[in-house]
């Protein structure tokens, strides 16, 4: 099996103490509707195959200890400040299920050598890095996350628990459902009126990329420090899993870690 080649954010590649990547579905051991590098254990794919995919993905960037969350489209943030926090919570490449699984949609850590993984198939993974505090975060933001401002919740955690200054944060928005395909027919029931400004005129399509950029900015992240890959998952099912395009599908991942 060929080594997966992750996509990286250009402005984050400037920092030698950081490793990160967004992993397309290409390569990997999964078959059928999960074809490729499916890392989602809740998709219906063979768990042994998924664990092989995870190991293949993480070995390509030199990681063996990674936090996978139980993502629930909420606003809770997992915090790993110490090895005690991380004990029993990390996937360590052997296929064993961690004894402690955080039910959260974002994670923050200053622990070196510990990866933070977010699994998506149309939702955004938003990676955050503060080089001043040597602090990283990863956020799962679908439309419900946008409504709950999970990005803001994560930044607030970085500030209150680690003394982070938002102007130091670098942010990257992963491939996700683009404004070309983010149709919400029932938006009046699902999306609050404050976010209707992001809807196309006379069409129920929303620009969640811009919503995330504005939410980052509202919490102090400088626009020049935000990078969006601007790749729509529904348009590019050759590269990414998309729940909108295929209900039975896998999950690709964005991973970020501080080097040891």
In contact, 220 and 155? CB cutoff 8 Å? yes
**What is d(CA 254, CA 227) in angstroms, rounded to the nearest whole number?**
14
Distance, in Å, from the CA atom of 249 to the CA atom of 35, rounded to the nearest integer, reads: 8
Tell me which residue of 91, 89, 41 sits closest to 65, measured CA to CA: 91
In this prediction, residue 175 carries a pLDDT of 98
Under 8 Å between Cβ of 93 and 143: no
Q: Where are the alpha helices (DSSP H) in 46-186?
A: 47-59, 83-86, 143-148, 150-162
b/e per residue 151-173 (b: at least 16 CB within 10 A):
bbbbbebbbeebebebebbbbbb
- Say what the pTM is: 0.97
pLDDT at residue 217, rounded to an integer: 98
The one-digit pLDDT tens for each residue of the chain (260 residues) are 778 899 999 999 999 999 999 999 999 999 999 999 999 999 999 999 999 999 999 999 999 999 999 999 999 999 999 999 999 999 987 667 899 999 999 999 999 999 999 999 999 999 999 999 999 999 999 999 999 999 999 999 999 999 999 999 999 999 999 999 999 999 999 999 999 999 999 999 999 999 999 999 999 999 999 999 999 999 999 999 999 999 899 999 999 999 99
Q: Pick one of 3.30.70.260, 3.60.140.10, 1.20.1050.10, 3.30.70.330 as the CATH number of 18-258.
A: 3.60.140.10
Counting Cβ atoms within 10 Å, is residue 145 exposed (0-12), middle (13-18) or buried (19+)?
buried
């Amino acid at each position: 099996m060929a080594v997966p080649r992750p996509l990286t954010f250009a402005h984050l590649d400037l920092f030698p103490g950081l490793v990160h990547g967004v992993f397309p579905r290409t390569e990997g051991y999964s078959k059928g509707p999960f074809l490729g590098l499916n890392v989602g254990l809740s998709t219906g794919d063979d768990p042994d195959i998924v664990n092989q995919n995870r190991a293949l993905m993480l070995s390509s960037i030199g990681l063996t200890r990674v936090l996978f969350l139980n993502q629930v489209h909420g606003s809770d943030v997992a915090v790993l400040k110490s090895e005690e926090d991380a004990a029993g919570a990390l996937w360590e490449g052997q296929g064993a299920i961690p004894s402690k699984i955080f039910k959260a949609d974002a994670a923050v850590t200053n622990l070196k050598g510990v990866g933070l993984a977010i699994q998506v198939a149309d939702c955004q993974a938003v990676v955050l890095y503060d080089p001043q505090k040597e602090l990283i975060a990863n956020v799962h933001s679908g439309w419900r996350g946008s409504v709950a401002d999970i990005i803001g919740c994560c930044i607030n955690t970085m500030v209150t628990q680690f003394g982070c200054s938002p102007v130091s944060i670098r942010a990257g928005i992963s491939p996700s459902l683009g404004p070309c395909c983010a149709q919400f027919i029932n938006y009046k029931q699902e999306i609050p009126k404050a976010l209707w400004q992001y809807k196309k005129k006379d069409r129920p399509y929303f620009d969640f990329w811009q919503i995330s950029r504005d939410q980052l900015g509202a919490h102090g992240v400088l626009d020049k420090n935000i990078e969006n890959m601007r790749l729509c998952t529904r348009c590019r099912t050759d590269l990414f899993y998309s729940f909108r395009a295929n209900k039975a599908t896998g999950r690709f991942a964005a991973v970020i870690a501080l080097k040891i």
